[in-house]
Structure 1
């Protein structure tokens, strides 16, 4: 009888033990899809990215904010531009800067680095801490740019569209050019040096997309930026300075390749 009781107690104990045991569930990993923030260059607004945005499809949420200073009565500093974009973007943003947009991004590192998870430069200026946006360009770049614009006392104004686009990007098919509005730019935007924490800047992954036929931010200038800045990867597009208009599919593809 005692032996039978001991067996019953043992079985009961096993049953209780089995009921209480459980395999811990693995913590669910929620992947946050980053927001792509496409920042335009001088003389344009966010609509200059429309064709690229269409090529990106539904893979990412895409924002194309207008930089301050589109109003000819308004002048905005680089810091004001950076602060304005920082206020408009969410956490986990991948920021893509074309031309002057690269300078805006570097100043954003000094304003909202916690929102920037990756930087992609497209034919962009990459001024380092203490430099003004245009400090490191090759002298020849400015000569070609001067053929596309008129320098006034306070603002830089694009010349007639045909002349402007011809000098900005010789690979652009002007007969099939999408409707884009051109703007003058205040000298105030390039007047002040970039400020940011160099340690924080160094930790942000960076990718540069060369435009190999560029005469506004020449390939020589672009390579100089890459050489002195730690870029995780580089890519290239056979275009002039306006690849978002001349080669939008290739721009979209290069952006997506930066994630691979």
Structure 2
């Protein structure tokens, strides 16, 4: 069952049939908002607003662990997420879509594991491999769908995640370019890491809204411009999701899911008593 953690949730509301709002609670406390359960194109789906449906939760305060835990407990196998981002490359223009395949972590305040040693958390210490942070099979579906719809799509890219909520300084933006980052946001980490620990197929549609602030003769990123481009991009991302979801549901994912779950389980070290 796919799950969507969306910046464009409102665009999909009308596509959900048999809609149920479900409040969730776990040892990681409450997720960002109520889970929306229903069917999209006759496929069971769960929608969750990462920042809350009114966008009231800043990136540092998103309860990523509760979100991932709630979605896994609901039976989700895939996480198809959208994220606004700044472009660090000339060729990635505002309005473009990037199906990212790597990340660089510059966050500082976030819990990055479900195995935190607390009495109510899963036991052990998890050293999850992160060489391939995203599900490549799911990414391939998103790329193929975007191309079939005529959406300008970059088939790979490295996301640099900053702590936020502030935007980068120009010196930082230029440094991130030198590091090899292609786009920049505030949410991919720890979301991708936790999804990997949970054994879920995770893929992200990154929507470029601006050129951050590295271009001296280009208007620097600001909230107004981000929202304007996000509104223009929303239909592209929702079209990709609405086409990809039924395709994903018809594919055989048994080996992929088993591999992810096996990796997650074998990454946990539990002390012998």
Which structure is richer in relative contact order (CA contacts within 8 A, separation 6 or more)? 2
Q: Which has the higher strand share?
A: 2
